[in-house]
C-alpha cells in the first residue's frame, strides 16, 4: 500500500537514494564497457518480471538473511514510485523496532529501499540500494554486509537525544 511521506528526513533520505541511482546510471553510460550488475539477478530478478508485491517479498527475504537478534521486529511498506525517462524507481520502507517489557514501543529505525526498473531493457537486473535513517551511506545488497550495530547505533543516538531534551 502506498504511504505518504511523513517527515522531512524521510523525503531527504529517499531523494538521496534516487540521486544515487541516477548518478550510477550516468556513470555506467559513460563507461565503454559497463560492469555487470553488482547484484545477482537470480536474487532480485529481472526488470521484465518486477512487481510491486514481488519487490516487497524480495526485501523481506533479504532482511531475513541479516544476522540480527530475533528481538528486532520489522514491517515493510511500499511508499511510492518515482518516474524517470527510461526507469521507474520503486521506494519501500522497512520499520524496525526492538520492544521490551520496559519499553513496549521501542525506538524505531527506518531503512529505505529503492528498486530501479529499466523501461527500455527488460532483461536487465533490478538494481537495489538501501540506506538507514539519518545516515548518508548508501548500501548495495551483495556488497554491504548488514550489521545489527547499525540499528543499535541509531536507537542509542535517539535515546541520548531524548535524555538531552528532558534535562
Nearest to 17 by CA among 69, 105, 94, 82: 82
The pLDDT confidence band at residue 101, using thresholds 50, 70 and 90, is confident
Nearest to 106 by CA among 65, 59, 71: 71
- For the segment 19-57, what is each residue's pLDDT rounded down to a tens digit? 777 777 766 665 545 444 444 545 799 999 999 999 999
Domain-wise residue ranges, the chain: 8-166
Percent of the chain surpassing pLDDT 70? 84
Determine the pLDDT at residue 38: 42
- For the segment 129-141, what is each residue's pLDDT rounded down to a tens digit? 999 998 889 999 9
Give the contacts of 137 (CB within 8 A, at least 6 positions apart).
131
Q: What is the pTM of this model?
A: 0.77
Determine the pLDDT at residue 5: 44
Mean pLDDT in residue range 50-70 = 93
- For the segment 76-100, what is each residue's pLDDT rounded down to a tens digit? 999 999 998 899 999 999 999 988 7
Is it the case that residue 104 has pLDDT exceeding 80?
Answer: no
Hunting for cell 518516474 — which residue is that? 83
Mean pLDDT in residue range 109-117 = 96
CA distance 65 to 60: 9
Determine the pLDDT at residue 160: 84
Mean pLDDT in residue range 56-66 = 93
Q: How far is CA 88 from CA 65, 82, 166, in A?
A: 26, 6, 44
Determine the pLDDT at residue 29: 61
Longest dimension (CA), the chain: 58
Determine the pLDDT at residue 37: 43
Amino acid at each position: 500500500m502506498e504511504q505518504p511521506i511523513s517527515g522531512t528526513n524521510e523525503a531527504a533520505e529517499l531523494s538521496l537514494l534516487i540521486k544515487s541511482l541516477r548518478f550510477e546510471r550516468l556513470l555506467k553510460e559513460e563507461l565503454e564497457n559497463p560492469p555487470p550488475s553488482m547484484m545477482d539477478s537470480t536474487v532480485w530478478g529481472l526488470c521484465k518480471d518486477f512487481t510491486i508485491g514481488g519487490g516487497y517479498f524480495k526485501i523481506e527475504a533479504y532482511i531475513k538473511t541479516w544476522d540480527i537478534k530475533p528481538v528486532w521486529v520489522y514491517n515493510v511498506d511500499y511508499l511510492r514510485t518515482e518516474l524517470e525517462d527510461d526507469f521507474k524507481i520503486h521506494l519501500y520502507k522497512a520499520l524496525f523496532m526492538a520492544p521490551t517489557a520496559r519499553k513496549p514501543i521501542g525506538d524505531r529505525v527506518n531503512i529505505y529501499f529503492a528498486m530501479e526498473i529499466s523501461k527500455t531493457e527488460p532483461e536487465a537486473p533490478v538494481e537495489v540500494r538501501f540506506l538507514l535513517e539519518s545516515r548518508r551511506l548508501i548500501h548495495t545488497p551483495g556488497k554491504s554486509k548488514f550489521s545489527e550495530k547499525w540499528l543499535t547505533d541509531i536507537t542509542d543516538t535517539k535515546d541520548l537525544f531524548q535524555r538531552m531534551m528532558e534535562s
